[in-house]
Amino acid sequence: MGEHLSSLWLRVQDLRWRRIALASFLVLFVVMAVPPLRRVVAAAASRVVLVVVSPFAPSISGFDDLPQASKSIDNPQPSGAPLVFLVKEVQADWVNVFLPIRPNGSTGWVKRSDVKLSQHDWRIVVETGSHQITVYQGANVFLQEPIAVGKQDTPTPGGVYYIKELLKPPNPNTVYGPYAYGLSGFSNVLTDFNGGEGVIGIHGNNDASVLGHDVSHGCIRMSNPGITKLVSVLPLGVPVQIKST
């Protein structure tokens, strides 16, 4: 996004969400190879997550044999949200996950034995050319509405991402509106913004006239009633496909 989320906002005080955060859960959201209507969720209690950064599934029993290829990621995140990953595939004892790091689309492997599986059936499709967001629950459209996206010099990057955190601005009357979802992706143009890393997000707005236009630093702006409706139902880890033109 260009708009830096975690430096500006307070964690959302949703009771169900806080129970997960206080348990320091690592949540992994699985997307099956043949798109089913349900996504599998895997959760593990771990304060530091070790990820093997490799395009291939590890053939070892642990991480110690690959010190140069492993990366540790703190859980919870700096915002207080539990660390989440979107799962790309599962191979035997390993889970291949998308990582919330640069470059966009980075993946790594975590041990399957460290997670517990559950399910959800949500997904989001963003079409920047038609300025539209569609939220699906299973095969049904839950919400569809116009959005604003990145300007020509700071475009919203296309790709597959996921919701990594839910944040609440201390002032709902700013450009961010009442709520914001931080995504796992980053601006391809801005390496930093307002002291942050150029994370992209989906959030509300303080000017509905911008919807349907290219106005942001890369974030997706939607209506305040729309994002408030999503906050009441969406879990973390929902896959977000951004189709850019």
Residue 112 has phi, psi (to 5 degrees) of -65, -30
The distance in angstroms from the start CA to the end CA of the chain is 17
Instruction: Supply the pTM of this predicted model.
Output: 0.84
Residues 6+ apart with CB under 8 A from 16: none
- Check: CB of residue 18 under 8 Å from CB of residue 31: no
Q: Residue 169 to residues 186, 198, 200: CA-CA distances in angstroms?
A: 20, 17, 16
Architecture of domain 122-243 in this structure: Beta Barrel (2.40)
- Could you tell me which of 242, 238, 241, 181 has the C-alpha nearest to residue 30? 238
Domain limits, the chain? 15-120, 122-243
Residue with tokens 């260009």: 2
Tokens (6 digits) for 42: 């895997």
Q: What angle do CA 241, 80, 86 make, to 5 degrees?
A: 25
Per the DSSP assignment, residues forming a β-bridge with 118 are 41
Q: What is the dihedral of CA 180, 186, 192, 195, to 10 degrees?
A: 30
Residues 6+ apart with CB under 8 A from 28: 41, 42, 43, 44, 84, 85, 86, 87, 95, 97, 110, 115, 237
Q: Tens-digit pLDDT profile for the chain (245 aa)?
A: 544 454 444 444 343 344 333 333 455 555 443 345 677 655 545 777 778 887 777 764 444 454 456 788 888 888 999 888 888 888 888 888 888 999 999 988 888 877 666 679 999 999 999 999 999 999 999 999 999 999 999 999 999 999 999 999 999 999 999 999 999 999 999 877 666 789 999 999 999 999 999 999 999 999 999 999 999 999 999 999 999 87
Tokens (6 digits) for 151: 């300007």
Catalytic residues: 203, 219
Q: What is the dihedral of CA 212, 217, 222, 228, to 10 degrees?
A: -170
